[in-house]
């Protein structure tokens, strides 16, 4: 069996934005860094692992509950919003448009791209604002597509 390149997902920015819906996940997440990889949480407790380029360690996104119950230092308590369109990994501008709209509403966002979906981690307490901004963006682009 030979390896092959796959390109799932939508690449059209206008289609992505016009069909955009979002799902808010119930947990509160946090970012932590581990310099000793032998102390990383089990994969079942991790939303994301990312090895920093320098010897700074491994960034981990996990639930606040898990971090606190295990005594981890953490930053940025946040909520995860999944963008429920299947975007291509090489779609141009999709996350930039969403992040720019959220920034215009005065909130920081940490976007993460998975193979099929993009996810936005937004500050705790701003998740409903973020959902509203995303819904308004989608409605605006849907109206533009009908013109």
pLDDT tens-digit readout, 37-57:
999 999 999 999 999 988 899
Cα–Cα distance for residue pair 116/121, rounded to 1 Å: 17
pLDDT band for position 132 (cuts 50, 70, 90): very high
Report whether pLDDT(7) > 70.
Answer: no
- DSSP tag of 43: G
**Residues 56-98 pLDDT 10s:** 999 999 999 999 999 999 999 999 999 999 999 889 999 999 9
The residue ranges of every structural domain in the chain are 13-146
Closest CA to 141 of 10, 9, 14: 14
Q: Which fold has domain 13-146?
A: VC0802-like (3.30.2130)
Concatenating the DSSP letter of every residue in 113-138 gives E-SS-EEEEEETT-HHHHHHHHHHHH
């Amino acid at each position: 069996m030979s390896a092959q390149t796959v390109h799932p997902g939508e690449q059209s920015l206008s289609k992505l934005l016009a069909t955009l819906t979002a799902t808010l996940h119930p947990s509160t997440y946090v970012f932590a860094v581990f310099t000793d990889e032998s102390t990383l949480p089990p994969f079942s407790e991790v939303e994301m692992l990312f090895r920093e380029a320098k010897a700074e360690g491994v960034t981990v996104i996990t639930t606040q509950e898990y971090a606190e119950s295990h005594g981890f230092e953490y930053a940025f308590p946040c909520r995860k919003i999944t963008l429920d369109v299947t975007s291509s990994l090489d779609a141009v501008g999709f996350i930039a448009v969403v992040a720019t709209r959220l920034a215009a509403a005065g909130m920081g966002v940490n976007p993460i791209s998975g193979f099929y979906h993009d996810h936005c981690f937004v500050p705790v307490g701003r998740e409903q604002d973020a959902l509203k901004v995303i819904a308004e963006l989608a409605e605006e682009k849907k109206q533009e597509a009908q013109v």
